[in-house]
Amino acid sequence: MHERLAQQIAFLVEADKLKSVIRRTPLVDVSRLENSAEHSWHLVLVIMVLREYGPPGVDWMRVMEMVAVHDLVEIDAGDVSAYDVDALVAKTVREQAAADRIFGLLPDDQQERLRQLWDEFEALATPEARFANAVDRLQPLIQNAHSGGGSWCGQTLVRTQILRRMAPIETSLPDVWPHVLDVVESFCAAGVLRRD
């Protein structure tokens, strides 16, 4: 087999491991928890459906590419709850090492391109990265809203924590922000989330 093709296949086989990384967010039917590969696929679909709410001039293909690769590091680093302060402390170091290893499986040109996409997502320095990040926050909120509270249940979370986590939605999808507020308020009223 040609060396380039062998490297590409090795990367794709490694990427398949993302299907085994279990997240904390249940599926809408509450039958099981979502895996990180399903999450990444769902983000692409969210972008395709909701991009009309995003800022003008955004390179939508780049946004989709970012969300397709943004969680690959979880193969090594695992999924960390956004509300687990202790686990978040070492997250960056673990994810950087994972990005080095996983993207390093690719031929040099593709390694550089996919790593740049991942770095761009992490840095939030472009409109594309900020929109991708906002969608990454919105998708679990939608699932939680339609699964009786989902990953919020069984935790002691307060309204301000959720709103702080969802804040990128307000700037990147301002027309969607009122929906976010409605969801959070409804789960405060239901006692799933505490008021501040």
User: Residue 192 in 3-state DSSP?
Assistant: coil
Task: Provide the pLDDT confidence category of residue 80 given band limits of 50, 70 and 90.
Answer: confident
Q: pLDDT: is 80 or 175 the higher one?
A: 175
Over residues 2-20, mean pLDDT:
97
Beta bridge partners of 22: 35
Rounded average pLDDT over 9-31: 96
Q: Is 23 helix (H, G, I), strand (E, B) or coil?
A: strand
Tokens for 84?
A: 């687990």
Residues whose CB is less than 8 angstroms from the CB of residue 45 and which lie 6 or more positions away in sequence, other chains included: none
Ordered by start, the domain boundaries in the chain are: 3-189
pTM for the whole structure: 0.93
Residue-averaged pLDDT of the chain? 94
N-term to C-term CA, the chain = 60
Rounded mean pLDDT, 27-38: 96
DSSP secondary structure code for residue 79 in this structure: -
* Res 87: pLDDT: 64
CATH of domain 3-189: 1.10.3210.10
* Average of per-residue pLDDT across 185-192: 92
Determine the length of the chain: 196
